[in-house]
Structure 1
């Protein structure tokens, strides 16, 4: 059974780190890292695989496999999502855990990186079976997670209800309330305000900082957004409310375009009623491929990885690309975009708002506190502004891309923490 808040997920998103890993080779050279530093960064600190039985609705008992990778905890307890998929494997989780460590260091929150999940096809199980599988997995890993060890969160094919099961099972095992064990919870059980829009809103904050470094006029800019799931829809709504002209948008079925701008609240209503953005009044139906090369100033890939590649990159007309999806740009295309003078706001910065608000949720839980929406918004805004400023400064000083600058800043932060601990 697929959680209601997920429009559609292709497991290609599992392989999000290929671009980052290849880019890191150059970053390592630029930083002149020692073999010991590279070894420390290249290998996860801990990896776990568990096997456990679950009683199914049919009455049969089935064995499941679960994984958890804790990549680096020099800067704090590890943090990362739990995802469910039949093709889940330990190698991809290691890469994703590494990226979480990079992302947390980049936005300067005291977490390391982790990732985990269960090998299961959620389309082939009931909600009751999903709950039993989740609880069995948590029983197996309860000794290696905790508020000061490793804090899970939602990821592909998991949602806030799955996080409640994790919370409840962990508390049963420990015999006490431990709301800080997991983030992404409903507000009624210790979740944070702004969480549902945090990834998109964090990206918008970064985008507006980036625009200050250009001569582009917000009032004249056209925005195209690929993806109308949670992140893409929220980005469209936030930008529309801030006065941006959304000239194209798409979901998994295709897209719509209107050079004069789309009425996003009405598009959302149309999507709710029909199940797709297609055939929206006063718009032209287009394909997802056409959206990427449409006549826009800002392009926001917010769906799948590897969407901008060597085949379509020359047709990109946008002046700015903000990567709300994980690794939507291939390495080949990334290099070509530099030659084309396109400003790329990399995914590890653009979509970091989610983990920032997860950090806020963790703090609130530890302190048995509740922050009003205004406070969360203010702190998220400042965190993303500071992260952009750190990256932009490196861009200027070293005349490099934002992706390279972001990776360098994060790696320096992680290695500095390792040195302070005496590990280097």
Structure 2
């Protein structure tokens, strides 16, 4: 079978391998080859200095075959339509493999969120929601946080949605503050879910977590939380970075101390750590470690970087951190990939819980939400590993097979 170039670009080697095994009907492949809708709009913002700037925003819906779509809104200078198309497609796969009743969407604004004041950010957030009009809502397309957006930004969007509708509709926006209908435990959900998946894979491979060395590229909400979780469970962090720089110490870095420094407003370029040497964010990926965790942006592991890796596993916390043209090189070197569609699904799963809680009027405690998340993540990891054993494929390909099975059932009707 000749692979549609669209799929090669969006999902890489693992998706191609799964397609070859899945035997999907041509009509299903045809329906998957293009997003359902793409919207581009201009967003004027009155800056604090008095001038006007117009930013470009997008919202892309790939498919709503499973239910109302769900996807993040990022405020990031590298945002573009190609990037969002890939994100929305991967999110569709993520919903499929994790049996979530949502389609895949993605959106954002091309802007450096760090350059905006709170007032300017609020204007942009409310303007973005207004631009979506009737195409946002709990039964249509649900917005969630992503790069450059957080609970406060989602709170502004939720308030704007309520204002324009003249009603309180908490399920339209996820990732809100708890006081506005958010769910306890959302900030650390990706990390909690990733740990459950990693633990299942380590057990499958007969490996003990205690003492394993790991490196994290991207010490933000997901990567920083995960580093602390792994350290608490006996793993040793040997390198970490944010966008400004990285630190490396073979004897170990204190994940909690670095998190506290981050929370205090320091960047890695400003941080100090005992025995640590400085390196670039890219170099963090190439340190000697049992586990490398790309948790920054997509495409950080290039073909050149694939040749430099010194790890036995990659835990994908960023979406699509391995470029499609580099994935085969990673696989051929015997490095196991724990795929993003499962590894980082804790965030979207908790986001789904928030939506379900809002729709049903329930109020879950942090303990209830965490227990439900653990159950879902362990079940998904177990299914992935079972398919991997039965079909004699890698977990990364197995996850794609699970997703394609669900998509075929939904799209072949």
Q: For the structure 1 residues 228 and 28, does the alpha-carbon distance in structure 2 shift closer, same or farther, using more than 3 Å as the test?
A: same
**Change beyond 3 A, Cα 1:356–1:218:** same
Give the CA deviation at 1:200. Answer: 1.5
Q: Distance in 2 between matches of 1:369 and 1:342?
A: 43
Q: How does 1:367-382 map to 2 (within 5 A)?
A: 367-382=360-375
Cα distance in 1 between the residues matched to 2:332 and 2:123: 52
- 1:17 to partner: Cα distance: 8.8
Out of 404-413 and 335-344, give the one that drifted further. 335-344
Aligned match of 1:326:
319
Structure 1 residues 223 and 177: CA distance shift in structure 2, 3 A = same
Residues 328-337 or 18-27, more deviating: 18-27
Q: What SS class does the counterpart of residue 135 from structure 2 fall into? A: coil
Q: Which moved more, 1:199-208 or 1:238-247?
A: 238-247
In structure 2, the partner of 1:7 is none
Counterpart selection for 1:276 from 268, 272, 276: 268
8 Å contact from structure 1 (residues 279, 285) kept in 2: no
Out of 294, 297, 311, the position equivalent to 2:290 is 297
Alignment-derived partner of residue 337 in structure 1: 330
1:394 aligned residue? 387
Q: How does 1:153-302 map to 2 (within 5 A)?
A: 153-271=144-262, 272=264, 274-276=266-268, 278-302=271-295
> Which residue pairs with 1:363 in the alignment?
356
128-137 vs 378-387, which deviates more?
128-137
Which deviates the most, 376-385 or 179-188? 376-385
1:19 CA drift (Å): 5.8
Secondary structure (helix, strand or coil) at the match of 2:73 reads: strand
Report the counterpart of residue 309 of structure 1 in structure 2.
Answer: 302
> How far does residue 100 in structure 1 lie from its aligned partner after superposition?
1.1
Give the Cα–Cα distance (whole angstroms) in 2 for the partners of residues 282 and 379 of structure 1. 40
Aligned to 1:8: none
Aligned residues: 405
Identify the residue that residue 100 of structure 1 maps to in structure 2. 91
What's the CA shift for 1:332?
4.2
Structure 1 CA distance for aligned equivalents of residues 29 and 180 of structure 2? 41
**TM-score, structure 1 length as denominator?**
0.87
Whether 1:406 and 2:403 are equivalent positions in the alignment is no
Shift of 1:86: 5.2
Question: Conserved in 2, the CA contact under 8 Å of 1:183 and 1:358?
Answer: yes
Query: Would the alpha carbon gap of residues 64 and 294 (structure 1) be closer, same or farther in structure 2, given more than 3 Å must change?
Result: closer
Give 1:192 shift: 0.9
**Separation in structure 1 between the aligned mates of residue 115 and residue 214 of structure 2, nearest angstrom:** 38
Q: CA RMSD of the aligned region, Å?
A: 2.5
Q: 3-state SS of the aligned residue for 1:80?
A: strand
State which drifts further: 280-289 or 379-388. Answer: 280-289
Residues 270 and 280 in structure 1, CA contact (< 8 A), matched pair in contact too: no
**8 Å contact from structure 1 (residues 17, 96) kept in 2:** no
Instruction: Note the C-alpha offset of 1:84.
Output: 2.8
Secondary structure, aligned partner of 2:319: coil
Deviates more, 1:393-402 or 1:229-238: 393-402
Give the distance between the partners of 1:227 and 1:78, measured in 2 at CA: 27
CA shift at 1:283, angstroms?
3.1
TM-score, normalised to structure 2's length?
Answer: 0.89
1:49-68 matches, cutoff 5 A: 49-51=40-42, 55-57=46-48, 64-68=55-59
Give distance in 2, aligned partners of 1:337 and 1:187: 41
